[in-house]
Chains A and B, each alone.
Chain A
């Protein structure tokens, strides 16, 4: 199917692709902290056992040459990493006793920010 979001060998993860395969770190973090623990756990339990196969599948492809399905798969794997501390460490979606996320900017490397960095 051409409207599949993930490469064929990972079609089992397709139900998660749209909502969890997010492109940038800030969106992935927002998704984590706004999700219920049961949803985080469901995602974690589905993706963790696939991580080794995901890496084996993507590793031969140069990062700059990933197609959109492969890129979505990589983002899904990054999302697994994002979700991991909530499951493995905090037992809650966000860091306990921490600086408010609304006041904490997560920016790409060269974002133009109040302190004046360059390039979006």
Chain B
């Protein structure tokens, strides 16, 4: 085992003819970060747009879910004639992977807000934009952050495949190493990927916590009172 790690370390120091470890790391991070950001940019507004529309939300979540279900390799193969090789198609494929968790969580987060809260906000005289900024976004953000965290970790874990279409990154080592049946080279790719996935997970869990408003973090003193929509007779107290 230590021998393997030692060989891996030697390889990392001089990976020629493969690209240098630093440059692969930079590319890998770029791939992951750009894809995650793109997934946010696409999924968040889409989620806000369709959250209150049952049918569009249903269609969209299923469509993006299906896109994800297409194995990434197949996706690369299908996209190749249109997008060619390199960084760009790799980013697009990874973005597709990142969209569903963010989209689903945006929709779930917005729908999870108590209708009474929004009703009160509107009744108070907030404009739709104010309701969005002051109420809906702060209440949804922690849920969206959880989606981003899932998306990012999945992207990090899938990104080695990008090397197949010339997207480079650690995938170069993994695929190259597998081709040569050279375990240390494979490890030089696999171990950084695992560490990076862990790092993203921990960092984004922190972000999620930061984005959770203090008021949502506090524990509840007592069970919530049940809604009292039941048609109770007039003289009966409606205690939960």
Q: Do A and B make up one complex?
A: no
